[in-house]
């Protein structure tokens, strides 16, 4: 009986401490995670991979030549968060590409020349990479950001790839 009373007193004391701290404004401070230094480039995008065959001065584009459809890519800042580089990763959804890319977040541009591709080790070049704010339209008609880049791999120098699409909205109906 004595142990039960001690336990009840302990429980009552613990409850009072939790209630007192729960009412303390400083205990639940609002946290602002802020933005990384590579904002607004960071995010998930639905992109399609098109290919161009280059013969001399002629370029012939083929839309989705491998029937891959739209795949998700992710752009994120590096752990150093210096604002000069991003990771571009297709999460093995399209062409298995993960490469560190130089960027200018203020201009919303990115590029790399012969960057090391981490999934397959292929030298990757990305040119004309750009994010266009509010210029994309999702498959259900929602307005979002648009992304575009030209990609070339050392293992396939005769083919230029165009990766383009829209920022993922988070609405299931907009997912591909």
| pLDDT digit string, tens, across residues 11-63 | 777 777 767 766 666 655 665 666 899 999 999 999 999 999 878 888 889 99
Give the residue-averaged pLDDT of 157-165: 93
Of the two residues 163 and 33, the one the predictor is more confident about is 163
The verdict on pTM exceeding 0.85 is no
Q: Taking the C-alpha atoms of 136, 33, 74 and 175 in order, what is their torsion angle to the nearest 10 degrees?
A: -50
pLDDT at position 92, please? 92
Say if residue 53 is in the same domain as residue 22. no
Specify whether the CB–CB gap between 116 and 88 falls below 8 A.
no
Share in percent of the chain as helix, strand, coil (round to 5): 15, 45, 35
Same domain, 123 and 53: yes
74 & 146 share domain: yes
Are 18 and 54 found together in one domain?
no
Domain membership of residue 125 (yes or no) is: yes
| Domain limits for position 14 | 1-31
Q: Cα 146–148–152 angle (5° rounding)?
A: 160
Same domain flag for 7 and 62: no
Same domain, 24 and 52: no
Q: Please answer whether residues 166 and 144 qualify as being in contact, where contact means their C-beta atoms are separated by less than 8 angstroms.
A: yes
| 129 within a domain of the structure (yes/no) | yes
State pLDDT tens for residues 93-105: 888 899 999 999 9
The reported pLDDT for the residue numbered 153 is 93
């Amino acid at each position: 009986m004595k142990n039960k009373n001690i336990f009840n007193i302990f429980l009552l004391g613990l409850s009072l401490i939790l209630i007192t701290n729960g009412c303390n404004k400083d205990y639940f401070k609002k946290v602002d995670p802020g933005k990384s230094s590579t904002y607004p480039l960071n995010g998930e995008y639905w992109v399609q991979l098109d290919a161009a065959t280059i013969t001399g001065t002629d370029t012939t584009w083929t839309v989705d030549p491998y029937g891959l459809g739209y795949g998700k890519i992710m752009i994120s800042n590096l752990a150093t968060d210096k604002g000069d580089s991003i990771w571009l990763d297709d999460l093995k959804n399209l062409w298995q590409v993960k490469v560190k890319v130089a960027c200018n977040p203020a201009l919303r541009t990115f590029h790399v020349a012969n960057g090391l591709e981490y999934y397959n080790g292929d030298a990757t070049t990305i040119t004309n990479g750009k994010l266009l704010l509010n210029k994309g339209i999702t498959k259900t008609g929602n307005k979002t950001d648009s992304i575009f880049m030209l990609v070339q791999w050392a293992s396939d120098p005769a083919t230029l790839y165009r990766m383009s699409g829209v920022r993922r909205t988070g609405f299931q109906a907009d997912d591909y």
